[in-house]
Chain A
Amino acid sequence: MSLFTTLIPSLNGGPITTATATRRPRHEISEVNGDYQVTVYLPGVAKDAIEITDEHGELTVTGAVKAFVPEGATALHRETPDAAFHLVIQHDESIDADKIGAEFKDGVLRLQLPKAESAKPRKVAVS
């Protein structure tokens, strides 16, 4: 029996998965005037529940959803999970992380990601 459980790890007991459920928000990425613009749709998230981090070429946006269940109410029909939003965008580190701008209105987060100076095209003079 113990040989069996070492061959098939999921039979070892304990939780099969410890990952918390998250959902990937709808998002659009575009380039405007050489800067990137990311629009992330986060309905039901309050502004202070949004976390944006940029690390090692990965831009991560997390938003916790305020679960809407009035006192004593039952859900008759659910099409949305209560899971938090989680989005990771890989980029090639050509973004100036100090100058990332963000605004949030009506559940839509707009991120301005200016390209780093070193990534902008430069003219080279020939002497």
Chain B
Amino acid sequence: MRYIPFTQPYGRTYARFGGRFGGTGLEHEVDQLFGTLTGSAQFPVDVYQDKINTYVRAELPGANRDSLSVEIVDGSLSIKASRQQQSAEGEETVTVSRLVALPDDVQADKVTATYENGVLTVTLPRQEEAKPRKVNVSVN
């Protein structure tokens, strides 16, 4: 049997077993939920969630720090960055941007972001669960 490595468009190769791309069967559903197609993305993004926060991690090596822009627009996170690129004509500025759909329970005014080692990490606190309320109903 010939071992044919599975490669992503970026040229990554994985061991045949192991790695989280083995197929949990949910990738398609997750893609739909978040509405991001890897075909159109220019930089990879990971989304994590725990009880307190949602985390969005974007790989943006070499970005100009003052060009980094993170905004919440209509329930989506808009990430924009630009970096200098050497080309045949000299230096030019390349801008990339991406819209990442967010879960509904984001506290938009408490979002923070850090940029370290070329990775932009956005921390989005989740809304605390509404406390259950007791409602008295009188029955006639």
- Interface residues of chain A, those whose CB is within 8 Å of chain B, are 8, 10, 16-17, 19-24, 26, 28, 30, 39, 41-47, 68-83, 105-108
Contacts and interface: CB of A to CB of B under 8 A. Distances in A.
Contact of A72 (B20, B30, B51): B51
Interface stretch (B72-80, B89-97, B113-121, B130-138): B113-121
A121 B66 CA distance: 43
B62 A79 contact: no
Nearest to B18: A21
A108 B57 CA distance: 17
A83 B118 contact: no
A43 B17 contact: no
A44 B55 CA distance: 15
Contacts, number: 128
Contacts of B18: 21
A73 B50 contact: yes
Given A8-B1, A76-B48, 7 more contacts: A16-B17, A44-B59, A47-B117, A73-B49, A74-B48, A77-B30, A77-B36
Contacts of A79: 38, 41, 44-46
Nearest to A70: B50
Q: Which of A30, A72, A75, A76 has the most CB of B within 10 A?
A: A76
A83 B61 contact: no
Given A24-B12, A77-B34, A107 B50 contact: no
B49 A74 contact: yes
A81 B48 contact: no
A11 B138 CA distance: 73
Contact of A106 (B21, B44, B50, B63): B63
Nearest to A37: B86
B19 A21 contact: yes
A83 B14 contact: yes
Contacts of B46: 68, 75, 77-80
Contact of B20 (A16, A75, A108): A75
B39 to A, nearest CB: 12
Contacts of B41: 79
A17 B3 contact: yes
16 contacts: A17-B3, A21-B13, A21-B15, A23-B10, A44-B118, A47-B117, A68-B48, A68-B119, A73-B49, A76-B49, A77-B30, A77-B36, A80-B44, A83-B12, A107-B59, A107-B118
